[in-house]
A = this chain, B = another copy of it.
Amino acid sequence: MTTTVEFIEKLRNSGLRPTKQRIKICEVLFNKETTFHFTINDLVKIIEKEANEKISLATVYNTIHAFEKKGYLKEIPIDANQSYFDTNVTDHHHFYDISEKKLIDLDQVDVGPINIKKSVPGKKIKSVEVLVKLDTDNQ
């Protein structure tokens, strides 16, 4: 449980003005028991359900991008249709259930160490992401 005051602190410390829209989005994203995955569309629906006032779609995009840049969110590449975000910003991997279009976290422990044996001159590794696609098991 994080208080509104703590979100205001967090925002200010990040150089982001604590507007009521950003505080609301913080509450929706970071005041949950567990981390979760969402699309912008999902998020807008949650906000509309929880809030009594409407937030402009442009503001939702702006805020999500600001949070991503600050490292409070991670974008998960799955397909080219839509952006998926994750409130779990620790290093981890994903299952993607193709039929249900749902993401499931895969801890580092569940995948084991990955050793990249190749390198590209002048470039350094920024991240290593494993995506495991799942299909219905009808044998």
Contact = CB atoms under 8 A, between A and B. Distances in A.
Interface stretch (A7-15, A16-24, A80-88): A80-88
A81 B80 CA distance: 6
Interface string A107-123: 10111101111101011
This protein's copies in its complex: 2
A97 interface: yes
Nearest to A104: B120
Contact of A137 (B106, B107, B123, B130): B123
B114 A109 contact: no
Contacts of A79: 75, 77, 80, 83
A48 interface: no
A136 interface: yes
A139 to B, nearest CB: 8
B116 A137 contact: no
Interface of A: 75, 77-84, 95, 97-98, 104, 106-107, 109-112, 114-118, 120, 122-137
